[in-house]
Structure 1
């Protein structure tokens, strides 16, 4: 959860939201506020998705003009908004009666300019082409996109650090927020394949007990994948909150693939649900999950591991997709209680979108239907 000093400014019905857009190149700020006073919150759509490959994506609509009649269309590698190493540093501001509150949105790398035009207001003055304004849509993604794009070139295609956190630092090249206890780095086989560095960084993050996410300051942190104690209540501002449920990833059988210390297979029966609505011989049928771990080297440990994994993966997942007034404290990975006129639901924020004055989020929660 973001900590906001002047939360009352953001949550007041009379506040005006404004987007500040700074441009960075190589970590150096090359433009302070591309269009001062020119952006409202409607100028951006920012989304976060805990299940996405890259966790944050922003589309920013920029309308630009200056006294020199210059175009902002990125036609060269050194263009201010070109997708060749430039970054957007986005800040959301709330203005209310002379007071200003600000919250960081993210330091995002520009990946594309889907649309750019200089409009119809062009003319020539003393041999120079003058434009009255440029209109662009700029797409930017969080720093895990850099990790995704960078491949493995070295010959040693496996972890070189015993510490999971140290290996994450090597894989991502990003600053780390070591917010969960360190563990031994898992045995992994890295591949010379597109996007595999990010896949492996998430595998190491999973060993730490969660999902790797780059925060608003460009720091890699771990979001634990368990529903915790709620950090707050989303209530009076809720506009809509329908329910949804999906059977995908609700398993009733876990099959193990283990070896002992001598690399011999450990043979144990699958862990199965045999009674209730999710019984393998019932109407739901059999939905198998395969599980392997190099840390399991005995038959007793294998049976215990399969039973534990079955308990985790056999819980139906429910979701509520809510629309509410934008509250900048809410982040993916937070546990919040969603309160409507007739229900209260506590769960994990797994997706979030800011658009204008509202936020649309997905709250995921679980209920056991097993005996």
Structure 2
């Protein structure tokens, strides 16, 4: 979750007003503060390598007649230098608190214009309107390529590799793991980000940059809820809890691998008891799996068993929700939904925020099959 006070959590459960402004940075220097931000949109999706993308219009009143319209690399809003920090301010009675939605890299300026007035026979800029499109900071790593293939030794810390490859802050949100085999990271477009995403999988989750500008791992396992979503009178839930899809419920996993010398390794894990037994009425549903990180029989046996446990332990499905805005929520958070016909807890996979008092959220919910 984004940083907040305990009091703000209580305020968000009732009636409140909100507004969004933006701070602009060039490097570490904040060059504009608390600027009006209009027609904005912020969409986050845990399935994307660059998880969050947004857009909006910066509206700035000039006090000295100068323009904010960028020209090439010149100007504080030039996409060659600008970072933006959208900030949502919540007000209720005498309460006020601002929440940073994160810092983002400006990728393009699709339009820009000045409003001009005549003063003492001279034309002066009274205000500038600059549209910006921006991405979360995974984009920095995606753009930073390897000059040549880089190699990780077997047994090095996955978090240590994450720090080395990104040069950014890292928050260890899950237990560290060792890179299980010699790994060569390719020198290709987006290769550094691909390497980071693979390290996230080694650590049992998805690697993302959070609102504090640090890399963290969102675990695949759905844990205890840390936030509550309010449905409200205008909220909607598209719930597919009654749909059951067996295509991805595997009761047998077959793994094929190679050791360090190229000798083949095979491993099989099966469900032998219960309603999903391979000898029962469900029959056999086989999944094939391989990984170049597996180099020993023990790793192969552990890997296929883990894939099998994920399959039969639960079936995950997505629930689309439109609910009251909660600026504290980030992708990867586990949230519970109030004011609904049944308890609903899931991991936040997608969030869409805008000028609307409602936001769209996709929760991934687990249904136990055992």
**Residue 175 of structure 2 aligns with which residue?**
181
State whether structure 2 residue 17 is matched by structure 1 residue 23: no
Give the one of 150, 154, 157 matched to 1:157: 150
Give the one of 54, 76, 79 matched to 1:80: 76
TM-score, structure 1 normalization:
0.84
Rounded Cα–Cα distance in structure 2 between residues aligned with 1:350 and 1:159: 30
Residues 130-145 of structure 1: pairs in structure 2 closer than 5 A: 130-145=124-139
Residues 1-371 of structure 1: pairs in structure 2 closer than 5 A: 1-5=1-5, 6-7=7-8, 8-13=10-15, 15-33=16-34, 35=35, 38-39=36-37, 43-118=39-114, 121-122=115-116, 129-154=123-148, 156-159=149-152, 162-186=156-180, 187-235=182-230, 237=232, 239-244=235-240, 250=248, 252=250, 254-260=253-259, 262-268=261-267, 274=278, 279-280=283-284, 288-292=287-291, 294-295=293-294, 297-298=296-297, 302-313=300-311, 315-356=314-355, 357-369=357-369
Of 171-180 and 331-340, deviating more is 331-340
- Contact map agreement 2:337 2:343 (CA 8 A) in 1: yes
Alpha-carbon RMSD: 3.0
Deviation at 1:247, TM superposition (A): 6.2
Deviation at 1:158, TM superposition (A): 1.7
Deviation at 1:249, TM superposition (A): 8.6
Rounded Cα–Cα distance in structure 2 between residues aligned with 1:195 and 1:262: 29
Rounded Cα–Cα distance in structure 1 between residues aligned with 2:280 and 2:191: 40
- Contact map agreement 1:111 1:141 (CA 8 A) in 2: yes
Deviation at 1:301, TM superposition (A): 5.7
Q: Any gaps of 5 or more consecutive residues in structure 2?
A: none
Rounded Cα–Cα distance in structure 2 between residues aligned with 1:117 and 1:148: 31
Shift of the 16–277 alpha-carbon distance from structure 1 to 2, 3 Å rule, reads farther
Deviation at 1:54, TM superposition (A): 0.7
Deviation at 1:309, TM superposition (A): 0.9
TM-score, structure 2 normalization:
0.84
Rounded Cα–Cα distance in structure 2 between residues aligned with 1:227 and 1:24: 35
Rounded Cα–Cα distance in structure 2 between residues aligned with 1:277 and 1:70: 76
Rounded Cα–Cα distance in structure 2 between residues aligned with 1:175 and 1:72: 32
